[in-house]
Amino acid sequence: MHTSKDLDLLAVNTIRTLSMDAVQAANSGHPGTAMALAPVVYTLWQRYLRFDPEDPIWPNRDRFVLSVGHASMLLYSMLHLTGVKAVDPDYETLGRVSVSLDDIRNFRQLDSKCPGHPEYRWTSGIETTTGPLGQGVATSVGMAIASRWMASYFNRPGFEMFGYDVYALCGDGCMMEGITGEAASLAGHLRLSNLCWIYDNNKITIEGHTAWAFSEDVATRFLGYGWNVLRVGDANDLEMLQRAFDTFKKTDDRPTLIIVDSHIAYGAPNKQDTHAAHGSPLGEDEIRLTKRNYGWPEDAKFWVPDEVVTHFSAGIGARGASLHADWGARFDAYSAQHPDLADHLTRMQKRQLPEGWDSDLPVFPTDPKGVAGRIASGQALNAIAKNVPWLMGGAADLAPSTNTRLTFDDAGDFTADETGRNFHFGVREHAMGAVVNGMSLSKIRAYGSGFLIFSDYARPAIRLSALMEIPTIHIFTHDSIGVGEDGPTHQPIEQLVSLRAIPHLVVLRPGDANEVSEAWRTIMQFHHTPVALILSRQNLPTLDRGKYGPASGVSRGAYILADATDGNPEALLMASGSEVGLCVDAYERLTAEGIRTRVISMPSWELFEHQDKAYRDAVIPPSVRARVAVEQASTMAWERYVGLEGKIVGMRTFGASAPLKTLQEKFGFTPEHVAGVVKGLVRG
């Protein structure tokens, strides 16, 4: 009969042996960290984590983030051993396990639920995609923020609907990445007491000992950030780990960092090649020696003792089921007493919108002077946010410029002492991107904003929002050389095309105020698609929609804005954003000269490409070869629309510091020049 300590050790060694066997079978992967941290994750999951394996998307579950994504077998082992069930995109539990033993046997192989690094939406029980170091811990900050906000909005006396904790496991690589410092600074400032990072202090990275590149005092650094810092001197000491987690649970005024000293796991005592153990398989001989050291059957592969499964079922399984059942009963009573809030909770979790959510979207009158894209966006955002309480976000210290502040009554600010809906991310673009991803993963409809040029600082987080297929809203203003006197350091050139290159990210660059409103109407209906909304700093003429095509065409990505009188154009003008109005001016000149011209507003290539071929050909007739694209950005990739015979009026250099009108003349963004390019194509 096994004692409690025997079962603890048996479970820990099962995690270790599954990890080493999977990496060996794949002949690829990182066994060391998974083996070294098995006691840490075992203690957390078995004794503390508020998580129901039968329903891994229960809204008030604790979140566990494996920021050291290369140790993915650590997480896959836990998902298998605790019997986490699979859930489909419609939030239905499928009745099968999320990670089977066959999935583990096929670690890092095509279509396995155990890819090289954890992937959200691919494997149930994974809270966020990790791999790029630092992203996981930064994303966990957004999850902790979401827990605090949801508790404030939904909880009522006698009804604690939200209050989950967030745990993230990180390593030396995470600590070196700049995003970690940004996120930790913000978390400390906000005093997120529901956030616990566990730092694996093993002093090893891929190149070798951290002494080559990393010698800072991490504990002092985090004390400076305002964190509670604890230390566990031996990763194998389950009682000391328990004491540390108990201290975290009692800490109510700051986030907690638990520094765990570990030695990279390399099996038998004579193993010296720490790089191989960390970043490559151990080898069959070494695995046999290691299993002998554990008292394990040496030739058994992927062996899971029945006692371990039963042990986890009696621990995290029973605890999670009880907590979840209590929450479900509480929700039933909550629905009776607070039906509106219960409806909001359900809609938010299923990414559904309230009735009448878009009823107040502004319609802008024709105005030659027009409205800046960022101003129109601020009005549309506020109109929607009044009706969608879980739409919220902020800026990287630029809200007055990006016009992303919610200004209606009771919007409020999110601070260490308040739980309003306006966030102040500070000058931390990269962390902001990850934080809003974490909020979005928690089902808040989150946005972050900045200048388009600084999207480069946030790009890894933007890419991950697309990889995870979550509807994060990335808002970028000051979208072109229209920034003017700020000069080439602030004038985006290559950013538009680089964002368009990210798979599954919708880039939307509306051309006037009504296109901005329609862009927001389109964005809010996405369930699994992130957006980069690109907006102008300068005023854009508000077009006469009685004369030109309706702005509702935005939802299809591109549409006919102005056409030849007979609907049979001999030339096509295509543009996005501020250049749409420029093309309309050129169109009027060309029409007056008898050149049959069509203007196509193209706010989103991605949405246009999702239309059927008949629609695409109706907008851009294959037979019309005289095509000109106009955009104050890199010309790259417009060839797909103008073809080999067309022309592109765009930027082939960086910008310059000068007033806007001067820049437009210098780089050819005038109606005269654009009309001249069209005439050159039509008349040869």
The string of pLDDT tens digits covering residues 446-501 is 999 999 999 999 999 999 999 999 999 999 999 999 898 999 999 999 999 999 99
Rounded Cα distance, 419 and 406, in Å: 14
Kindly state the average pLDDT of the residues 642-650.
96
pLDDT score of 273 more than 80: no
Rounded Cα distance, 141 and 138, in Å: 5
Domain boundary pick from 540, 567, 591: 540
Model confidence band, residue 279 (pLDDT cutoffs 50, 70, 90) = low
Q: Tell whether 547 is covered by a domain.
A: no
pLDDT score of 385 more than 60: yes
Q: Tell whether 507 is covered by a domain.
A: yes
Q: What is the pLDDT of residue 271?
A: 39
Within 10 angstroms of residue 681's Cβ, the number of other Cβ atoms is 19
- Same structural domain for residues 378 and 525? yes
The string of pLDDT tens digits covering residues 128-154 is 999 999 999 999 999 999 999 999 999
Find tokens 């059957």 and name the residue.
297
Q: Tell whether 361 is covered by a domain.
A: no
Q: Tell whether 590 is covered by a domain.
A: yes
Q: Tell whether 360 is covered by a domain.
A: no
- Same structural domain for residues 533 and 563? no
- Same structural domain for residues 581 and 512? no
DSSP per residue over 115-156, as a string?
-SS--TTTSTT--S---STTHHHHHHHHHHHHHHHHHHHH-B
Indicate the SS3 state at residue 287. Answer: helix
pLDDT: is 299 or 596 the higher one? 596
| Residue 429 appears among annotated catalytic residues | yes
Catalytic residue among 182, 429, 606, 631: 429
Domain boundary pick from 292, 324, 356: 324
The string of pLDDT tens digits covering residues 70-123 is 999 999 999 999 999 999 887 787 789 999 999 999 999 999 999 999 999 999
Q: Closest Cα to residue 585, out of 626, 551, 540? A: 540
Find tokens 């794949």 and name the residue.
26
The string of pLDDT tens digits covering residues 22-48 is 999 999 888 889 999 999 999 999 999
Q: Tell whether 122 is covered by a domain.
A: yes
Q: What is the pLDDT of residue 3?
A: 75
Asked if 349 and 323 count as a contact pair (C-beta separation under 8 A), the reply is no
- Same structural domain for residues 247 and 177? yes
Q: What is the pLDDT of residue 264?
A: 63
Q: Tell whether 214 is covered by a domain.
A: yes
Model confidence band, residue 277 (pLDDT cutoffs 50, 70, 90) = very low
Positive or negative torsion for Cα 207, 210, 214, 220? positive
The string of pLDDT tens digits covering residues 618-633 is 999 999 999 999 999 9
Mean pLDDT of the chain, nearest integer = 94
pLDDT score of 368 more than 90: yes
- Same structural domain for residues 526 and 562? no
The string of pLDDT tens digits covering residues 554-572 is 999 999 999 999 999 999 9
Q: What is the pLDDT of residue 268?
A: 38
Rounded Cα distance, 278 and 208, in Å: 9
The string of pLDDT tens digits covering residues 414-437 is 999 999 999 999 999 999 999 999
CATH number at residue 126: 3.40.50.970
Q: Measuring CA to CA, how many Å separate 461 from each of 21, 77, 450, 468, 505?
A: 32, 27, 14, 10, 12
Model confidence band, residue 2 (pLDDT cutoffs 50, 70, 90) = low
For 432, phi then psi, to 5°, come to: -55, -45
- Same structural domain for residues 250 and 273? yes
Contacts 24+ apart (CB under 8 A), 41-45: 41/15, 41/74, 41/75, 41/78, 41/169, 42/8, 42/11, 42/12, 42/15, 42/238, 43/238, 43/241, 43/242, 43/245, 44/167, 44/198, 44/241, 44/245, 45/78, 45/82, 45/312, 45/316
Helices 135-154 and 429-441, packing angle to 10 deg = 50
- Same structural domain for residues 640 and 498? no
Q: Tell whether 346 is covered by a domain.
A: no
For residue 71 the two structure tokens come to 């140790």
- Same structural domain for residues 564 and 655? yes
How many folded domains does the chain comprise?
3
- Same structural domain for residues 526 and 563? no
Within 10 angstroms of residue 270's Cβ, the number of other Cβ atoms is 8
CATH number at residue 585: 3.40.50.920
Find tokens 């990850």 and name the residue.
434
pTM listed for this prediction: 0.95
Asked if 330 and 161 count as a contact pair (C-beta separation under 8 A), the reply is yes
Domain boundary pick from 540, 568, 593: 540
Kindly state the average pLDDT of the residues 290-312.
94
- Same structural domain for residues 481 and 563? no
- Same structural domain for residues 518 and 448? yes
- Same structural domain for residues 393 and 318? no
pLDDT score of 203 more than 80: no
> Which residues constitute the domain of residue 662?
554-683
